[in-house]
Structure 1
Amino acid sequence: MFTGLITDQGVLHSLTQGPVRRFEVRSSYPHDDLKLGASIAHNGVCLTLVEIHPDPKGSRFIVEVSPETLAVTTLGDWKVGDTINLERALKIGDELGGHIVQGHVDGVGEVVERQDQTGWIGFKVKAPAALSRFIAHKGSITVEGVSLTVNGIEGDIFDLMIIPHTAEVTTLGQLQSGMRVNLEVDVMARYAARLSQTAQT
């Protein structure tokens, strides 16, 4: 369980091809503070630490990604040197500052427009058609692991506004038109849709 509030920006240090792809990520998380088997969200995808190593900047850890995950997220596009939004799993008693995020990507969207304005950045993102009914004006959505508020929606395209702080401490400031992004819809919207469907049957 996560909140969509990014706690570090890691860098993809190396990758190993194979039936299960292995990613080595450098982060500023203290080496002694990480545990094997722990979950960390990588651009919104919950992955398990299978190796942990000390690093001058904090730590290097390895996660393994299945072909299915590579196919349904943007992780298959990663290249050495890419910056990654990281969030450690929520602990009991932690502040829930964003919204409830599961780390299970629902689909991949595409940035169709970027607007750089004074003090903020606006984005238009096209979501897969199957997800549009779960996206609501002023509702929550997770983009690349970041909890955001939907400013508007028309059809399959929704609007976002990113403040300078968010652009600085996440990878969202690097997004350009044509780039793909991991999307996770609000779990509450999923439950509401399911309840509505059940009530009509």
Structure 2
Amino acid sequence: MFTGIIETAATIKRIERENENIHFTFSSSITHELKIDQSLAHDGVCLTVVAIDADTYTVTAIKETLEKTNLREWTEGTEVNLERAMKLGDRLDGHIVQGHVDQTGVCTQVEEAGGSWYFTFEYDPAANNITIEKGSITVNGTSLTVVNSKENAFSVAIIPYTYEHTNFKHFKVGTTVNLEFDVVGKYVARLHALRK
């Protein structure tokens, strides 16, 4: 369980393929605090630490994860948003984030707004995911508030702190991102579909 409040960044140092799996080795400022078998959200994707070597750690992505996320586009040097699982009793500063990406989206617009930024994303509506105005959305693991909700698109407003401390600063039109829709909204949508 995560909150969508990004702790730090991690940078891919090595990518190794093994059958249909990919092992990603990262460096991060918190590597020395990690343990094997610990869950970390990488751009919103919950992955398990399988090895630690000095200042690097390794996680493994399986076929299911690679098919539903933007991990297949990662290359050595890619910077990802990193969050450790929340501790029981901590404040929930973002919203409830599972680390289970629902689908990817594509950045279609970046607009500077006098010290903040608006980012617009489109996604395939066939998966029946929805956003609502002022509802929660997770983009690359970052908990955000939806503005300008549409059937297959939404925007988010980014403050300077978030821009500087996440990989939003690298986004441009065409960037593929991981989306996790609000868990409560997913249950409501599912119940609605069952009643039709």
| TM-score band w.r.t. shorter chain | over 0.9
Paired residues of 1:132 and 1:155 also in contact (CA < 8 A): no
Q: How many residues align structurally?
A: 195
Distance 1:17 1:30 in 2: 22
Q: Percent identity?
A: 42
Moved over 6 A (4+): none
Q: CA deviation at 1:133?
A: 4.8
Residue matched to 1:102 = 98
Partner of 2:135: 139
2:80 is aligned with 1:80: no
Q: Deviations over 1:13-56 (max 9, x none)?
A: 1111222111000011151x21110000000000000001222x
Structure 2 distance, partners of 1:15, 1:8, is 20
SS at match of 2:18: coil
Matched letter for residue 45 of structure 2: V
Please give the TM-score of this superposition, normalised by the length of structure 2: 0.95
Structure-1-length-normalised TM-score: 0.92
Verify: 1:10 aligned to 2:10, yes or no. Answer: yes
Aligned amino acid, residue 49 of structure 2:
L
**Does 2:183 align with 1:187?**
yes
Residue equivalent to 1:40: 40
Unmatched runs of 5 consecutive residues or more in structure 2? none
The unaligned stretches of length 5 or more in structure 1 are none
For 1:138-195, what per-residue CA distance to the aligned partner results, in whole angstroms no more than 9, with x for missing partners? Answer: 0000000000000111231111111110000100121100111000000010122233
Cα RMSD (Å) of the superposition?
Answer: 1.4
Q: Aligned with 1:161: secondary structure? A: strand
Q: Match of 1:189, SS?
A: helix
Alpha carbons 2:129, 2:186 under 8 Å: kept: no
1:69 partner amino acid: T
The residue identity in structure 1 corresponding to 2:15 is L
